[in-house]
Amino acid sequence: METSGKCAVCDAECKLKCTACKCVSYCGIEHQKKDWKTHKLECRPLEIAHSDELGRYVRASRDIKAKSVIFTEAPLIAGPKWCMDDYERQEPIFPCVGCFRPVRIGDLGCPKCNWPICSPTCEGLENPQFHGLECAVLRTARPIQDKSNIKSLLDHYRSEALLTLRCVLLQLKYPQKWKQLLELESHEEDRKGTKYFEEAEQRIVSYLKANYLDKINAESLKTEGRNLIPNCESKDLHRLCGIMEVNALNVNLPTGVEICALYPTACLLEHSCMPNCFYTFDFTKHYKITMIAGRDIKKGENLSIMYTHMLWGTQMRHEHLMTNKYFVCKCPRCADPTELGTYISALKCIGPEEEIACGGTLLPKDPHDDDTEWFCDKCPVRIANNQVKFLLSNIEEEVDALMFERETTVKQLEDLIEKLKQFLHPNHFHIFSLKHSLIQRYGTQIGYSSAELSEEMLKRKIDMCNELLSIVDVIDPYAIRLSLYTGIILYELQLATVEYEKRKITAAKENNEPYDYEELYNAEGYLRRAKCVLENNVDIPQGKKFIEAVVRSSENLETLFEQIKL
């Protein structure tokens, strides 16, 4: 919207307006680039603060409306995942060093350094923010002798070391980014002796020094009397690994490859198990991040995202945060043994030995204590935490084994749910994941199509959807983190509701009886809400898929309304 006014710098007449703060903008003649960039930073609705408990954090400098863009920024650095599981290290698939497309290792190499690429014309090969930054370093390694040996290739080309190398090289090409990078928390002392520290030493630090950095600096000391690449001793590299471990955000690309990126402001947002912000990535603009308000945020409120999975139980979330981020979450959900009344971590009490089960619920006495005792809310039973962990570990293995099967059947899911109900609360997160998978198979799997489902099974699906919805509505009421889960539940709920109501309409016509249209109107509401919450997932393939399905279902429901002349 245009408005006349004075330029804030030179008093010239100006018709531009800042979209963020609505103030009169700069005229853009002499000072457009420098001062407009400064103004955009100044008028963001946030401020960076510091506390002894949180370190640097971000809070709202004015009221922010839900779904407002809070800020957008480019990454300081982006690259392949810095930490890989054993099975990933054995896969012959490698992210192209220029654009991260998955390629088969050994098939095609960069013309200069021979690291895996998708094409010799890949734009990222010359980009100084990507492969162009490290290519000159990578070409100094000894050439690999046996290119037919996959194991040798995987050991020679370690993709998890590239992000650390790119960080090191920032100081040579982008000193301001290097300065911002070093301002991020690394928890150097906390990391020592941990699994991630040892892996970083073996897979990244010693690898980079032995194959590249020590050799380059030794040569430059001889010829120039100085290190060509400073700040690359073991302690420096471990500090960078710590910065990545604590701050890096995972970026899931449309190709299925997962990369990591570090952002100057986004990495400062604190964790909350009930966050007030979410973010999206722009894959066409080098992984720019856009931070969005998930709900109305008041001035002075801390901005937060979630570092763990919202559908994990409290102890799993705490373990992840302590292992990777080195802090304990003390949010209201974590402090409540019932997790806000959802009982998503609760167990079923089996009662004292040789007695009939009391039907009570087992809860942790102190959710913040890793050694806490679990107590029953109906009988005197107490269980040690190590017993609970052993039980849940076995259950997790069984659930994962089934969920990762290529052809998991309705019967398998139903049987495992019934089995686990003997030990877990019906709302437990393991049962939640099984039910969420099950509702998507009711109506699609062979033998369970919508037309084949009995009214009893349709009703079971409707009840199950409502059970899942009652949980997500409590732990994520604004669909900030679980928007895809919530959208799928709502979509499946309307499918089952419409099919169930179609049969009631047919029966009403056959018996010449009136029909109550309330549930069809409810189904229409489920679709509207699903479309709304799925808007947060337009940048991922699964999100787009379900939005398209919701649109089709809306059109089908509209046709149904016309047929019955509503």
pLDDT tens string 232-255: 999 999 999 999 999 999 999 988
Task: Specify which residues 280 forms β-bridges with.
Answer: 290
Confidence at 13, pLDDT banded by 50, 70, 90: low
- pLDDT computed for residue 1 by the predictor: 33
User: Residue range 543-562: average pLDDT?
Assistant: 91
CA 276/CA 65 separation, integer angstroms: 11
CB atoms inside a 10 Å sphere around CB 448: 17
Tokens at 466, concatenated:
């409502």
Q: Domain-by-domain residue ranges, the chain?
A: 1-43, 82-247+255-262, 326-441, 449-566
Q: Which residues contact 169 (CB under 8 A, 6 or more apart)?
A: 133, 134, 137, 229
Tokens at 189, concatenated:
């002392």
Q: Tell me what percent of the residues of the chain surpass a pLDDT of 70.
A: 92
As a whole number of Å, the end-to-end CA separation of the chain is: 41
Q: Is the pLDDT of residue 40 over 80?
A: no
Q: Which among 250, 469, 233, 475 has a CA at the least distance from the CA of 342?
A: 475
Give the CA dihedral 490, 492, 494, 496, nearest 10 degrees.
Answer: -150
What single-letter amino acid sits at 374?
Answer: W
Q: Which residues contact 356 (CB under 8 A, 6 or more apart)?
A: none
Q: Tell me what percent of the residues of the chain surpass a pLDDT of 90.
A: 72
User: Residue range 393-411: average pLDDT?
Assistant: 93
Q: Which among 506, 497, 510 has a CA at the least distance from the CA of 557?
A: 497
User: Residue range 168-189: average pLDDT?
Assistant: 95
User: Residue range 277-299: average pLDDT?
Assistant: 94
- pLDDT computed for residue 139 by the predictor: 94
Check if the beta carbon of residue 534 is closer than 8 Å to that of residue 483. yes
The string of pLDDT tens digits covering residues 469-509 is 999 999 999 999 999 999 999 999 999 999 999 999 999 88
Hey, CA dihedral for 516, 517, 522, 527, is it positive or negative?
positive
CA 490/CA 317 separation, integer angstroms: 26
CB atoms inside a 10 Å sphere around CB 408: 18
- pLDDT computed for residue 5 by the predictor: 54
The string of pLDDT tens digits covering residues 196-219 is 999 999 999 999 999 999 999 999
Q: Is the pLDDT of residue 36 over 70?
A: no
pTM above 0.85, yes or no: yes
DSSP for 338-394, written as a single string: TTTTT-TT-EE---STTS-----EEEES-TT-TTPPEEESSSS-EE-HHHHHHHHHH
Confidence at 20, pLDDT banded by 50, 70, 90: low
- pLDDT computed for residue 370 by the predictor: 87
- Bridge-based pairing of strands 258-262 and 77-80 is antiparallel
- Assign 3-class secondary structure to 276-345: CEEEEEEHHHCCEEEEEECCCECCCCECEECCCCCCCCHHHHHHHHHHHCCCCCCCHHHHCCCCCCCCCC
Q: Which residues contact 9 (CB under 8 A, 6 or more apart)?
A: 26, 27, 31, 35
Q: Is the pLDDT of residue 10 over 80?
A: no
Tokens at 85, concatenated:
């599981």
Confidence at 276, pLDDT banded by 50, 70, 90: very high
CA 460/CA 291 separation, integer angstroms: 39
Residue 40 burial (C-beta neighbours within 10 Å; 0-12, 13-18, 19+): middle
- pLDDT computed for residue 387 by the predictor: 94
Q: Is the pLDDT of residue 530 over 80?
A: yes
User: Residue range 53-68: average pLDDT?
Assistant: 94
User: Residue range 521-535: average pLDDT?
Assistant: 94
CA 29/CA 308 separation, integer angstroms: 47
Query: Residue 51 — φ and ψ, nearest 5°?
Result: -145, 160
